[in-house]
């Protein structure tokens, strides 16, 4: 895993210490520091669509514990994992290799995942096999939620919205549910290269669907971001950071001022040489299902749509 001095320069690294979960309540943060941080984040999201945040207050040990625990689930026999399979295309649960494809002209993605929403019932968790998973992921999800809301608050400040709590109100202050939650991702070792189909990747080219995504990577790498020239650039994992990106609905809200960048996951020489699987954890912050997303600048660049309508359409077109 790269440190700051060796990381590729395409994705900016921003110090989040002034709004760290460890030290500061959002309402107590120094206004000048908030404005400076908002400007830095808005610049990154307006040009790249991604930013590395350091000193967020989420510790590396927290991420390591989740990855080690979730790996115990993913290493269970296939028939055991299938007991916890997602059932309706939109809910929580396990998805095996072949469950999703982002590119219609290419084979399905070479990865497994376990989705856990904020309101996931206890029955979805593999308590008999990995009892630690439920308390660990629920605590971690709460931490990610708070961090994501602080990022949205900074975006509101950077956009100079009159109501800095606009995004709070459209995410967790309505009465309906949302698709917000955590996704545990596992890219198992490929022991026989001949098992990989032509044009098959770990995760096909796509943009995320909701507001923002927080991504926690291991040191294997493989994530690539499409830049403004249409070329894919490696997003090298940077130790001690959280990688944050804009998703589609926030791009619509801001009339394309913020970029929901296309990205993918490919196999790397490090993965091939190490013989280890790749792991990551994604936290998807999505608006309330009933939130109506329309351009904040009053333009008609996008038609109004509810978050639920948009995300369900995406689910229907990507899951097999």
Question: What is the DSSP-derived secondary structure letter of residue 231?
Answer: -
Q: Report how far apart, in Å, the C-alpha atoms of 186 and of each of 58, 170, 219 are.
A: 21, 31, 13
DSSP string across 96-154: -TTSB-S-TTSPPPS-EEEEEETT--GGGS-TTT-TTHHHHHHHHHHHHHHHHHHHHHH
| CB-CB neighbours of 62 under 10 Å | 17
| CB-CB neighbours of 238 under 10 Å | 22
The whole-chain average pLDDT of the chain stands at 90
Across the beta sheet with 263-265, the strand order is 203-206, 263-265, 223-226, 232-234
Q: Token pair 């689930």 is at which residue?
A: 73
- Where helices occur in 201-257 by DSSP H, the ranges are 248-253
pLDDT at 173 over 90: no
Band (pLDDT 50/70/90 cuts) for residue 120 is: confident
Q: What angle do CA 145, 56, 53 make, to 5 degrees?
A: 100
Segment of 51-60, 116-125, 194-203 carrying the highest mean pLDDT: 51-60
Which tokens belong to 116?
């856990």
Band (pLDDT 50/70/90 cuts) for residue 174 is: confident
Name residues whose C-beta falls within 8 Å of residue 85's C-beta, 6 or more positions apart in sequence.
93, 94, 95, 96
What average pLDDT does this structure show over 286-315?
95
* Out of 73-87, 109-123, 260-274, least confident range: 260-274
Residue 259: what pLDDT? 97
pLDDT at 171 over 80: yes
Helix pair angle (133-158, 31-47), 10° resolution: 90
What average pLDDT does this structure show over 247-265?
97
Band (pLDDT 50/70/90 cuts) for residue 263 is: very high
Closest by alpha carbon to 217, among 201, 234, 233, 241?
241
Q: Token pair 């493989």 is at which residue?
A: 222
Per residue in 42-85, pLDDT (tens digit) is 999 999 999 999 999 999 999 999 999 999 999 999 999 999 99
Q: Report how far apart, in Å, the C-alpha atoms of 73 and of each of 77, 111, 311 are.
A: 9, 14, 27
């Amino acid at each position: 895993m790269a440190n700051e001095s060796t990381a590729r320069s395409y994705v900016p690294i921003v110090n989040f210490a002034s709004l760290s979960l460890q030290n500061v309540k959002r309402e107590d943060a120094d206004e000048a520091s908030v404005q400076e941080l908002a400007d830095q984040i808005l610049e990154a999201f307006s040009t790249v669509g991604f930013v590395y945040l350091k000193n967020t207050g989420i510790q590396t040990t927290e991420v390591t514990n989740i990855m080690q625990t979730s790996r115990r689930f993913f290493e269970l026999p296939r028939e055991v994992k299938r007991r916890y399979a997602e059932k309706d295309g939109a809910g929580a649960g396990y998805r095996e290799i072949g469950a999703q494809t982002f590119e219609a002209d290419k084979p399905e993605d070479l990865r497994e995942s376990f989705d856990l929403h904020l309101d996931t019932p206890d029955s979805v968790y593999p308590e008999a096999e990995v009892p630690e998973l439920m308390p660990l992921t629920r605590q971690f999800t709460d931490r990610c939620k708070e961090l994501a809301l602080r990022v949205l608050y900074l975006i509101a400040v950077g956009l100079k919205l009159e109501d800095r709590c606009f995004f709070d109100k459209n995410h967790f202050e309505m009465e309906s549910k949302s698709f917000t939650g955590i996704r545990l991702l596992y890219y198992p070792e490929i022991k026989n290269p001949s098992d990989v189909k032509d044009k098959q990747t770990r995760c096909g080219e796509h943009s995320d669907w909701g507001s923002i995504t927080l991504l926690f990577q291991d040191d294997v790498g493989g994530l690539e971001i499409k830049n403004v020239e249409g070329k894919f650039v490696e997003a090298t994992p940077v130790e001690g950071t959280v990688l944050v990106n804009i998703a589609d609905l926030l791009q619509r809200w801001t009339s394309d001022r913020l970029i929901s960048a296309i990205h993918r996951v490919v196999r790397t020489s490090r993965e091939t040489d190490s013989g280890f699987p790749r792991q990551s954890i994604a936290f998807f912050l999505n608006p309330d299902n009933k939130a109506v997303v329309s351009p904040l600048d009053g333009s008609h660049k996008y038609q109004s749509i509810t978050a639920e309508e948009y995300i369900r359409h995406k689910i229907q077109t990507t899951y097999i």
